[in-house]
Amino acid sequence: MSDSPIDELPDIDALTDADIEAGRLLFAGECSFLAASNSMSNLAPMARDEVAFAGRSNVGKSSLVNALTGRKTLARTSQTPGRTRQLIFFNLADRLDLVDLPGYGYASAPKADIEAWSKLTRKFLSGRQTLQRVMLLVDCRRGIGKADRLIMDLLDDAAVSWALVLTKTDKLKPTEVAKTYSQAQAEAAKHVAAFPHVFLTSSKDGRGIAELRAHLSRLAAPAKSFGDA
Ligand X SMILES: Nc1nc2c(ncn2[C@@H]2O[C@H](COP(=O)(O)OP(=O)(O)O)[C@@H](O)[C@H]2O)c(=O)[nH]1
Contact between 183 and 168 under an 8 Å Cβ cutoff? The reply is: no
Choose among Mg ion, ligand X, none what residue 168 binds, the Cβ cut-off being 5 to 8 Å by kind. Answer: ligand X
Sign of CA dihedral 112, 157, 64, 196: positive
Nearer to Mg ion, 63 or 180 (CB): 63
Residue 215's CB is within 10 A of a number of other CB atoms, namely 22
Residue 36's CB is within 10 A of a number of other CB atoms, namely 14
Rg (CA), the chain: 17
Nearest to 96 by CA among 134, 31, 130, 49: 49
State in angstroms the smallest separation of the CB of 190 from Mg ion. Answer: 28
Choose among ligand X, Mg ion, none what residue 121 binds, the Cβ cut-off being 5 to 8 Å by kind. Answer: none
Q: Show the site string, 187-216: x = touches ligand X by CB under 6 A, - = not.
A: ---------------xxx------------
Contact between 134 and 162 under an 8 Å Cβ cutoff? The reply is: yes
- The only residue of 37, 62, 91, 121 in contact with ligand X, by rule CB under 6 A: 62
- The only residue of 37, 69, 118, 167 in contact with ligand X, by rule CB under 6 A: 167
Contacting range for ligand X; rule: CB under 6 A; set: 17-25, 72-80, 123-131, 142-150:
72-80
Alpha-carbon distance of 203 to 70, in angstroms, equals: 10
Contacting range for ligand X; rule: CB under 6 A; set: 9-17, 85-93, 153-161, 163-171:
163-171
Alpha-carbon distance of 208 to 188, in angstroms, equals: 19
Residues lying near ligand X in the complex (CB under 6 A) are found at 55, 57-63, 77-79, 84, 103, 167-168, 170-171, 202-204
Residues lying near Mg ion in the complex (CB under 5 A) are found at 61-62, 84
